[in-house]
Structures are given as C-alpha cells and as structure tokens.
Chains A and B, each alone.
Chain A
Amino acid sequence: MRCEHFERQMWAYIEGQLPDAQAFEAHLRACPHCQRQLAAAQATYRTLHALPRHRAPANLSEQVRRRIAAAPARPRFDWARMWWRVALAPALGVLIAAVWWGWQTQQTAPSYGTATDDLTESLVELHEQLEVADWSPSPTPSYFISTGYTR
C-alpha cells in the first residue's frame, strides 16, 4: 500500500468503517510518516466531535415568536386577479424573441453583404489588371542588372 492510498482510507479506519484493515495496519506499522498523519487525523476527529456547543441566547425563542407574530402573512396566489398576467407571459416571451431575432438578422445581414461586395470588387479589379497586362516576355528587371546578377 502506498501512502496516498493509506491517507484516502484514514477517515474510514478512524470511524471503524474500513472492512479489511489488514493492509492498512501493515502499512501503518512500517511507515513513520503515515503514523504521524494518523495521529493528527485522530486528534482532529476527537477535537471536532468534542467542540463546545454554543447555546442560543435565552430570549431567542421569544424574539422568534414576536417576529413571526409581526410578520405579514404571505399573500396567497389569487388566480382570479392574476390569470391575465399568467396568460400574457408566454406571449410577451414570444414577442421579445421575435424582436431579438429581427435585430440579430439586421445586424448580421449587412456585414455579409459588405464582405461579399468587397470580394467581388477585388476580383473584378484583378481580372481587369490581368486583361490589360503586357504578356510579352519582359526584359531582365533593373535590380538584377544593378546587382550584376543575371539568370
């Protein structure tokens, strides 16, 4: 058994919920690190279960009674008065969704259009340049001559 495995089983061991403790105890006998860990865990467990309990102030129950007596009764749901609001809620939801959808469509459509137009224009320009271009064999570019480099 490794130390990590031991530490995972430590709390179950302390609570007596480890079904087979043989491997656990064998590791415990051989490992000083885990002996210290278990001692700390046992001290933790004992202390947690022996922490002093704080008692509520003596007048707390009376204060609760007074507060309950002073609290307004929670109004019950009145269907007769509220039915139209309940009916209106889904309609309002649909209306909001429709407005939102329309707004989204307006926002996104022009941007696609602009991008398409730009692309078309670029293609037309490129096409025109290619058409008017001089396709005869070009002389050696000047920078090749100036550097003395020739193909």
Chain B
Amino acid sequence: MRLYADRLYNYILRMVGNATDAEDLVQETFLRAYQGLPQFDGRASLGTWLYRIATNLCIDHQRRRARRVQTVSYSEGEDEEGEPAAWDFPDQQTPNPLEAALNRELEAVVEDAIDKLSPKLKTVLLLYDVEELSYEEIARVLGIPIGTVKSRLNHARTQIQKAVAAYLDDALLSAQARGIK
C-alpha cells in the first residue's frame, strides 16, 4: 500500500495543489477501491484502476472548488505545517551550484505552467511525464482513445515549453544586459 500511497499522493497533490486535500483524496481513493473491489474485473492493473478512481475524485474536487486556486510553495522546501517537505530527488549527478539554482528556477517555471493547464491536459501530462504510465494505460484510466492521449500530451507539453522558452529568453536577455554593463 505504501508504494501506491506515495504514487497517488504525488499525483493527487500536483492535481489539486493542496497537501491537506491531497491526503484526504488519497484516503478516499483507497476507500472507494476497497468498496468497489467486487466490481474490479482484473482486466486493468490495480495501479491503473487506482489512478482512474483518483483522477475522477480530483476532477470532482476541482469542480467543487472551481476557481479557488491554491498552490503549494515548492521553493521553500517546507510543507504546509512548516515541516521539511519529504522529497525524493531522482538519482542524478550532483550539479554545480549555478546549475542547481537554474534547475530550481526551471522547476518553478514548469510547476507554475502545470498549475495553469486545464484539468484534461494536466491529467495526461502528469500521468505520462511524471507518473510514467504508458499511452495505453492512460487511455484505460481516462477511457479515451490513445490518439487523444497523444494529442493532449503534445498540447500540454507545448504550453509548458512556451513558458520555459519565455523564461529562457528573459534569462538570456538579462545575462546579455549584465554582460554589456
């Protein structure tokens, strides 16, 4: 359960942007899964099924709290209770301080761009690029054709890429300006 709890929590937190709601929705996902076990036909994997329940709950949650935007501050490295955030950084070579600072800024730009995506685009992007589900699994989770999954993914990535391009252009311009001085 711990493995699924972590994956669902990471996914749901990025979907709803609020740690308390994310915890509650993870609990609700497991509860619904438990109550729905007799209906689980085993054709989909357990993970796919849990993501489907979680996605539906997140979309319902966003509908209920439409327009109330809450964001988690990732940059301060603390969660809402002021505790240090429990993050698992992927294995990678330790970047130098400048690269690390740039990566953190890029992360913030990307996180911000993800928050601005529509729920449809955000769902596909998070499931593919963050949760690393396959096209087929996402199609099963959302009940849409694989072509639609690919098209939504391209749209979502392109929207984020535009934000990153604007950030990189600004960074380049300010670096050039500093160089001129």
Residues of chain A at the chain B interface (Cβ within 8 Å): 7-8, 11, 36-37, 39-41, 43-45, 47-57, 60-61, 63-64, 67-68, 71, 74
Query: What are 18 A-B pairs with beta-carbon distances under 8 A?
Result: A8-B154, A39-B168, A40-B168, A41-B164, A44-B161, A47-B103, A47-B107, A48-B129, A48-B130, A48-B157, A48-B160, A52-B107, A56-B6, A60-B23, A64-B27, A67-B31, A71-B31, A71-B35
Give the segment of B41-49, B60-68, B88-96, B141-149 that binds chain A: B88-96
> Considering the chains assembled together, what is the distance between the CA atoms of A11 and B128 in angstroms?
13
A74 → B minimal CB distance (Å) = 5
Interface size class of B (residues with CB under 8 A): 35 or more
- Choose among A8, A64, A71 the residue that contacts B1 (Cβ–Cβ < 8 A): A64
Given the interface pairs A50-B92, A57-B23, the reply to whether A37 lies near B2 with Cβ below 8 Å is no
Alpha-carbon distance A68/B169, docked complex (angstroms): 51
B40 at the interface (CB under 8 A from A): no
Chain A residues near B169 (CB, 8 Å)? 36
B63 vs chain A, min Cβ distance (A)? 23
B165 engages A54 (CB within 8 Å): no
Q: Given the complex, which residues of B lie within 8 Å of A68, measured CB to CB?
A: 30-31, 34
Kindly identify which residue among A8, A43, A50, A71 contacts B168, using a CB–CB cutoff of 8 Å. Answer: A43
Kindly identify which residue among B27, B31, B87, B161 contacts A52, using a CB–CB cutoff of 8 Å. B87
Binding site for A on B (CB under 8 A): 1-2, 5-6, 8-10, 13-14, 23, 26-27, 30-31, 34-35, 74, 85-90, 92, 103, 106-107, 109-111, 125, 129-130, 153-154, 157-158, 160-162, 164-165, 168-169
Q: Are A54 and B86 also in contact (CB < 8 A) when A44-B157, A48-B110, A60-B26 are?
A: yes
Main secondary structure of the interface of B (DSSP, over half): helix
How far is the CB of A61 from the nearest CB of chain B, in Å?
5
Q: Contact at B161–A50, with CB atoms within 8 Å?
A: no
